[in-house]
Amino acid sequence: MQNDLFSLCRPYPVVSLVGLSKSAGKTTVLKHLIHAYKRYTKSNAQALPPLAVTSVGQGGVFPEIRIYKGMYAATAAGVLRDCDFTRRIVHTTGISTPLGEVIVAEALSDGRVSLAGPSVNSQLGELCRYMRAEIGAGQILVDGSGDRRTFAQASGGVILCAGAALNRDINAVAAECAHICRLMNLPLEAECREDAVIRRISGALTDEILGEITDCADIKITAVIAADMSKIFVKSAVLDRFLHRGGKIYVNKPADLIAAALNPTAPGLGYAFDRAEFLAAVRDRVSVPVFDVEEHETVYG
Amino acid sequence: MKRFTDKQLRTVGAAYALNKLTPVTPYGRDAARHIAPFLKAQAGALAIELENVERAAFSGADNSAFTRILPKFRDIRGSVKKLTGEEGKALGEVELFEVKSFLLALSELAEAYARFNGSAGLTGIGIAPMEDALLVLDPERTRLRSFYVNEKYSEKLRIIREKKLIIDAGLNAVNNAETLKELERERLKIVAEEEEEELAVRTALTFRLATHKMDFDVNIDALARLDLTLAKASLAREYGCVKASITENTIMLKDVYSPEADAALKERGGRVTPVSLSLAPGTAVLTGANMGGKSVALKTVALNCYLFQCGFLVFAAEAGLPLFDNIDFIFDDEQSVYSGLSSFGAEMSNVNALLERALNGFSLIILDEPARGTNPREGRAIAAGLAACLNGLSSISILSTHYDNVAKEEYNCYMAAGLKKELLAALESDKKRLSPEMIPGLMDYRLIKAQPADSVPNDALGICKLLGVCPSLLNLVEKFL
């Protein structure tokens, strides 16, 4: 992974990492970004505002990473005890998780941290606002869950992580990447044509609902508006059918996709993709920069 | 006096008023959950509480600082409980952080409270800053809210951390796998040492904090009272409540109302009609039309007497109230059929119990249409008998009734003014269509002093017309009158 990913992320106050499956490489990307931040601060006289890290909706498996002196971590009190960086407690958030309240701590030394942040996305916003405003965090890296619902609500840039573990078929993984990228690039409601026949979806847009809308003989609905991409659960084929009939899908809230990061290995599953082939397959189908997570594996941690 | 049960609170509209209380701290919220009436023997304490609430509400003292400071308090009672001074107990780093935050907020609050109290003059609530305890957790006097196990506490810790930094620097610089492994091993050792020394420091800090345990407890108590007093005051300001003077054994209420009834009427575009009444030991009889506001008036009296005794200003223009040993009431809508008794049976056994209480203390007894659920001949006799019986007690009783001849010269008689007959007659002669929605406009909900002779108004047929009861039925009814 080149340093470009770090540069691409720099404009975003919050960067969320979301994975399409297990072993998608989220943690590797997180480590890379932390390390890149550290290297950048070392080689630039002008200090960057502090970096903060947290996670959301992990449900039991918490990424373990190394953070550096001067950084901040927001994690549950129950796992903070087992972290080995010397720390200053700066805030108790009132956000409770099965492992205790989420605590914000400043690292007074380097060390290992398990990230057990808020359980649900809705609490993440408050936490990020606090870290930005009160701590002056320049950027917050959020290790998101594999759950699609995390995607768009992340209120910042998103790095989509996809790994070979999703499917043995390299094209299937690339197609899924492309589909998610397409959902993240849906136009905003404001761009909707005035003469469109609109159906507003307040909850989830599922295959069934979109299928019905597509096949509806009485009225030809030409525009479907959903809250954001986290509410859209349609398969590629169903979406294609709707689009081919002249339909369009709009969202209220944009999702900002920064890049896609790929993990060609599938740990524990006994196979791996060819690195170059995987990169090429995804690059062919998506419009954002695509990186290989393993190119920077030498990072300590 | 006992606290009302949840059901009783709901019946008289006290639950509504209590829900309007919004204390800010966990301590104040706890105190609000446990609000209970002052006992008769605690009249002095009640007087202070009422005075405090009135001053906090209406003295004009600037209370804006509390809005900023009070939300900073979090519940540290669990940590304070651990401050036993026993060997080997250590608060965790997060607990120490919370305690420090508490102490910083306490300093701020003490200062703001002193300023506020310069003009408000509350008594009996003292917030004392705990600078000595704060110094334990803030040895460098930075007054920053953050907390860490400072090297200032332990030279050993300082040395350990210095080594840790050196190892970390090595880990970041070295590329040789062998050396890395070696450094990792060393780091594990030093981290364990650091943890051990931090524990020793936390234990020592906890021990030092324990000497201040009493101050924590006292301040938390005062904080709860202050928060609750301010919440009561803001409720009083919102509704323009007044402080009732404490009387020996009489009730005087001028323009009293129930905020819940008012809110319900407001939704339909109306306002509640305040009522006024004066009661002394003995029986008061309240008569009046159906839907004329008798029950609401009775509940309003119970509500305000109860809240007064819980240290609230009352929803009235002026009030003088006594402290009761019991407030007992029976309303038709709160009776339940239980233990195999009919509603009549349940009512009578409740009456029995409240009479017993009234023999042993000073009660407020409110009976809404007693004995309405049985035959009118005996029902009337029971109501009349009850009125006579209650009149012989030193308690204050009010009963409402539709029965003739229950009211007597020796009782205090009130009547809900009832239908404005001229208005109704005018509507009828204009051949206007009558409808139930017209009732509030045609009804005079005030209570007026009455004579026993004119005490039972005959408004039932008028109400029937307004409710749209079929005319052929009404014609038949009139034949039987």
Angle of helix B376-391 relative to helix B343-359, nearest 10 degrees, comes to 10
Element (H, E) at B92: none
Q: Scanning every residue of chain A, which has its alpha carbon at the shortest distance from the alpha carbon of B199?
A: A81
Q: Which residue has the tokens 């300590």?
A: A300
List CB contacts of A153: < 8 A, sequence separation 6 or more.
Answer: A121, A122, A124, A125, A228, A230
Residue-by-residue DSSP string for B313-357: -BSSSEEEEPPPSEEEEE-GGG----TT--HHHHHHHHHHHHHHH
Question: Mean pLDDT, to the nearest integer, of A244-252?
Answer: 89
Q: What is the predicted pLDDT for the residue at A301?
A: 34
Q: Which residues of A touch B98 (CB under 8 A)?
A: 92
Q: Which residues of B touch A81 (CB under 8 A)?
A: 92
Q: CB–CB of A90 and B146 under 8 A? A: yes
pLDDT band of residue A149 (cuts 50, 70, 90) is low
Q: What is the predicted pLDDT for the residue at B367?
A: 95
Distance of alpha carbon B430 from alpha carbon B445, whole angstroms: 24
Helix (H, G, I), strand (E, B), or coil: what is residue B159?
A: helix
Whole-complex ipTM: 0.84
Element (H, E) at B58: helix B43-58
- What is the average pLDDT score of chain A? 86
Higher pLDDT residue, A93 or B460? A93
pTM above 0.80, yes or no: yes
Q: What is the predicted pLDDT for the residue at A153?
A: 55
Instruction: With CA atoms as reference, report the closest residue to A180 among A21, A7, A35, A15.
Output: A21
Distance of alpha carbon B282 from alpha carbon B409, whole angstroms: 12
Q: What is the predicted pLDDT for the residue at A147?
A: 60
Q: What is the predicted pLDDT for the residue at A1?
A: 45
Note the maximum CA span of chain B.
Answer: 113
Q: Which residues of B touch A91 (CB under 8 A)?
A: 145-146
Q: Which residues of B touch A99 (CB under 8 A)?
A: none
Q: Residues A181, A260: contact at Cβ < 8 Å?
A: yes
Q: CB–CB of A106 and B146 under 8 A? A: yes
User: Is the confidence at residue A196, as pLDDT, over 60?
Assistant: yes
List CB contacts of B243: < 8 A, sequence separation 6 or more.
Answer: B50, B51, B53, B54, B313, B314, B319
Q: What is the predicted pLDDT for the residue at B298?
A: 96
Length of chain A: 301
Q: Which of B172, B179, B181, B197 should one mutate to test binding to chain A, selecting the residue with the greatest count of A CBs within 10 A?
A: B172
Beta bridge partners of A162: A262
- List Cα–Cα distances, B15 to B18, B201, B271, in angstroms: 5, 48, 20
Q: What is the predicted pLDDT for the residue at B336?
A: 52
Distance of alpha carbon B416 from alpha carbon B400, whole angstroms: 10
Of A84, A101, A106, the CB nearest to B191: A84
Element (H, E) at B209: helix B177-210
A1-56 pLDDT, tens digit per residue, is 444 889 899 999 999 998 888 888 888 899 999 998 988 888 876 778 999 999 98
Q: Which residues of A touch B148 (CB under 8 A)?
A: 86-89, 108
Q: Scanning every residue of chain A, which has its alpha carbon at the shortest distance from the alpha carbon of B162?
A: A109
SS3 content of chain A, % helix, strand, coil (to 5): 35, 30, 40
Task: Please tell me if residue B191 touches chain A, with a CB cutoff of 8 Å.
Answer: yes
Sign of the Cα torsion B2, B3, B7, B8 reads: positive
Q: What is the predicted pLDDT for the residue at B456?
A: 66
Mean pLDDT per 10-residue segment, chain B (481 residues): 94 96 97 96 96 96 94 96 85 96 97 95 95 95 94 96 95 89 95 96 96 97 97 97 97 97 88 94 91 91 98 98 96 59 81 93 95 87 94 95 86 86 79 76 85 71 81 85 77
Helix segments in B75-154, DSSP class H: 77-81, 93-120, 131-137
Higher pLDDT residue, A295 or B267? B267
Q: What is the predicted pLDDT for the residue at B337?
A: 47
* Shortest alpha-carbon distance between residue A184 and chain B (Å): 38
Q: CB–CB of B172 and A300 under 8 A? A: yes
Of A88, A94, A109, the CB nearest to B168: A109
User: Is the confidence at residue A300, as pLDDT, over 50?
Assistant: no
Q: Which residues of B touch A87 (CB under 8 A)?
A: 93, 148
Beta bridge partners of B363: B326
Q: What is the predicted pLDDT for the residue at B69?
A: 97
